[in-house]
Amino acid sequence: MFKNVFGSGFLVRTAHTVLTWAVTLVLFLHDTDLRKQEARGELLQPVLFVLLVLVSVLLYFAVSLMDPGFVFSDSDVKFTLGVSDEEQEMITQTPKAMRQRRCGYCLLQQPMRAKHCPTCKHCVLRYDHHCPWIENCVGERNHRWFIIYLGVQLIALIWGFHLAWSGFSYAPTWNLWLQQNGFLLAAFCLVAVFSVVVILLLGSHLYLVSCNTTTWEFMSRHRISYLKHCGADENPFDQGIVRNLWSFFCLCRTVAWEKVYFREDSDPV
């Protein structure tokens, strides 16, 4: 289920972890609201903030090391998607069907919505994108957790932004002010930049999930065989916002997207 901790993303994960705890430490060492509450013996918010940061780090590692839905063999495709030989034959006989293609890199059959990732060197089920931040693909098995991680991370960042702002102290000159607040200013700028990035990421992913589409499908629609013939506003996987969100967040199963795509043709009369 999880990849090797000491793989190619070891430095990225280490840098993320060190930076997260370094910013947290700066917030506690300066005269922020956390430090004031700790000095007064009010430990509830400081403990909650540390726990929130810890949860965000654990979620980061879970998403980073989780199998996003790699396809390792042709037999894995049928077993994972639950498509029998008879059902596969019925699908390929429908009027608008296209033949299931073989990956030009790993030579495995690609189920619908899968794509080969040149960085991970595997085909990924319901491929969304390869994220350099987590040094892993975002696919069918970890996309849900990726969005949950972004949500938790955003709460921690906004809280950290408020705490950093509360810690700036007055000084009569700019040089003295920078000496007193230099580290806090660096932490404040980092938190601000990452907050903007996470807001944009979370907003875009929630929008795509509500439409039941992926980043790859949204960006490369004109080149994807099962989408390029569809109209600009047509999405064969869209089941409505509520059902899309329910299926994505609440149904922990792998979907046979061929069945969803051909549901109009395969419905019994």
Do the domain assignments include residue 79? no
Element (H, E) at 115: strand 115-117
Q: For residue 263, what pLDDT is reported?
A: 66
Do the domain assignments include residue 139? yes
Do the domain assignments include residue 8? yes
Q: For residue 59, what pLDDT is reported?
A: 97
Do the domain assignments include residue 176? yes
Q: Give 82-127 pLDDT, tens digit per residue.
A: 555 554 554 444 444 445 678 888 888 888 899 999 998 899 999 9
Q: For residue 8, what pLDDT is reported?
A: 63
Q: What is the Cα–Cα distance from 177 to 168, expressed in whole angstroms?
A: 9
Do the domain assignments include residue 56? yes
Q: For residue 249, what pLDDT is reported?
A: 93
Contact 236, 226 (CB under 8 A): yes
Q: For residue 72, what pLDDT is reported?
A: 83
Full domain range(s) for residue 140: 1-69+133-269
Q: What is the Cα–Cα distance from 112 to 49, expressed in whole angstroms?
A: 42
Do the domain assignments include residue 196? yes
**What is the identity of the amino acid at 204?**
S
Q: What is the Cα–Cα distance from 258 to 237, expressed in whole angstroms?
A: 10
Residue 218 in tokens: 């949204």
Residue ranges, the chain, pLDDT below 70: 1-8, 74-100, 263-269
Residue 268 in tokens: 């019994």
Q: For residue 100, what pLDDT is reported?
A: 65
Do the domain assignments include residue 99? no
Q: For residue 77, what pLDDT is reported?
A: 64
Spot the catalytic one: 120, 131, 137, 250: 131
Tell me, yes or no, if 131 is annotated catalytic: yes
Q: What is the Cα–Cα distance from 178 to 169, expressed in whole angstroms?
A: 10
- How many structural domains is the chain composed of? 1
Do the domain assignments include residue 122? no
Whose tokens are 């590692």? That residue is: 61
Q: Which of 117, 119, 248 is nearest to 127 (CA)?
A: 117
Whose tokens are 């807001």? That residue is: 199
